[in-house]
Structure 1
Amino acid sequence: MKKWFKKIGQPFLRKEEIKNKEAIPTAVEQDEIKDKESIPVVLQEDITNIQKNKKSWFNKLGDNFKKTSSNIRKAIFVKKLDEKSLEEIEEAFLMSDLGVNNTNLLIDELKNKKINTNNNTQENIAEFLEKQFSNINHELNLKPNKELRVILVFGVNGSGKTTTIAKLAKNGKDKKLKVLIAAADTFRAAAKEQIEKWANIIRIEVLSGNIGEDPSSVVFKAHRKAIDEKFDLLIIDTAGRLHNKVELMEELKKITRIIKKNDEEAPHNKILVLDSTIGQNTYNQIDSFHQNIGLTGVIMTKLDGSAKGGSLIGITKKYNLPIHALGVGEKIDDLIPFIPKDFINALLGDNIGEKK
């Protein structure tokens, strides 16, 4: 199995889907808004050469994640899993933002589980950690089950929500889907400009509302347009909102009701974008949005920042929610599908936990 770092630049694409595809240039920063007159066709051998020159996924991670990884690796490099080594593992996970309750649950399970200490303790623990994610399908399917898939995206201010939406839209276009973005953040002119600039870069149509317009009205018009003009994927950008603001939560509920007027089964995905650098505060956000709106999954951003990484295990353990993807930078392709085995390998060190 290829390691995760070989997938940088090709998120959500299988090997056979890459050949003869139209490729948007990947090294596009948010402030690099340039019209692209031609889209190069990237051949398989060109992609292979590009991959060889890319940094590994681990090298894109922030220093705190690397420190977490180092601490956990040191703790699990033991010949025997005894009380002392369990205490060291417990301390390492507590420092990783896993949280006290989730750490205690994991340590209790490790104590109760008959881990084979005669062989490789690291591999046994890696396998155990991987299983914490195994009962959930983390893949985000962008293709519609019927005529149109509607994805509603929300999150607090500064979570990287709008950039993540652009990355998702680009992934959809790479899959030959007809994509429409609804820019329903009508509170900030900058938000409208940002999503329109991204749409211009990746050459995707966007329906924007006027400043001060009812966001639900924008969503309704975009949904009707997507249905009437036979789009495959509609991604809705909403205004950033604090999870404890009741009136803004009510606005999200209204948007959801409006969407159902056109399709009772929509939105098909309700995704919360989470800033992974806020550590255990992610749990408060999930609690609030899940109770008010009902989540179908989360996307974790800014793994290249000060994130420690442990909260990802805590989210799955506590909420049983899929983690669809990880943001590891601001470039258009810096969105990596969440694959538990690869995440555990990055957390514990390369090759640890891989099946022979």
Structure 2
Amino acid sequence: MLNKGLPAACLTLFLCLLVIVHNVKADVSYSVLEEMKRGYVIGNIGKDLGLNVNELFARKARIDAEGNRKRFCNINVGTGDLTVAEMMDRENLCREKLSCVLKFELVLENPLELHKITLHIQDINDNLPVFPKDIIKLEIRESADKGARFRMIEAHDADIGQNAVQNYMLERNDYFILAVSPNNDGGKNLELVLDKELDRERQQELTLILTASDGGIPPRSGSVQIHVTVLDANDNAPVFTEEVYRATLPENSPIGTLVIKVSATDLDEGINGEVTYEFSRASSLAKTAFTLDSNTGDITVSGPIDFEEESIYEMRVEGKDGFGLSTGTKVIIELTDVNDNTPEIFLKSLNSHIPENAPPGTEIGIINVQDRDSESNGEVHCVIGSNMPFKLVPSIKNIIPL
């Protein structure tokens, strides 16, 4: 310990003497693989410096770390070996530096002597390539052109050189290939390239596996899942469930009666798949008699329907999606007759003056009987009162001689 009472001149002389005896000798350099176990012999520093074991012991040889938190090396004074004192992880010590160097000093006493030791930590392939995400999510519209490119994120490997990431491989699939090219900072540009056009109606989602591998022996690898959601494009027209819709309806059905429902489906999503309906061809009479709901496809009675006026209605209905793709179908509505008409009698001719001696069978008049209904509803049976000297004789259709 320095004496505080010494003159300034004496203090200066003491410091000078201390510097003079701090003698730095030749440097030595070694290399060692990272993660070697404690006690592993790096080299024999005694032989390399020309020091025998007796001298090492007598001069209290020791290793001092130079700015390192841990003393990763020891010297065995009995053998002169420089050994691993603490397992060294290159990635923890030097991060991503290409060169990982630790510096120490071999300290000898009596006389005081220092030797600088440089220790190069060599990388081993002890890390896997790792992608920043477990899943990469992409949304790609099905209308994307063949050759479209989608940038991918690189994998990272904490190792360096050949032990870092060297190759990428995309799992075989029907739609994408992988394009890899070098970039300016020494890494690689990764792009998914669309090799076959997507079809959302055929496959809405895809799962791809991208694998990165390093150049170690044996190589190590890491993978990431790419989840592709195929977005819809309006590439499908509506399709009706029937080419021709047929319905039978009694005449005089009340307004609001559901006649038939047309339905078309569109494989697209959202507004591209929303179908609306309208008459594309219908007579004015049909448009008066029937209404088509544009959203549901329901055709209902909206006006009077009379079998005797029109017995069959043929209409064309168009189904259209949100962006104008459309298709058509035919609707045929047949009315069935209801007995809603009374027979009508028309006197076509009549001989009002008949001689009393007219022979039986003499025709005296013609009566026309009509019923607007059809089939059995339109069949008419005519009778004449009893105790009359006349009878009805059917003639041509609906005309009865009297």
| TM-score, structure 2 as length reference | 0.17
Larger RCO of the pair (alpha carbons < 8 Å, separation 6+) = 1
Q: Which is richer in helix?
A: 1
Q: Which is richer in strand?
A: 2
Structure showing greater radius of gyration is 2
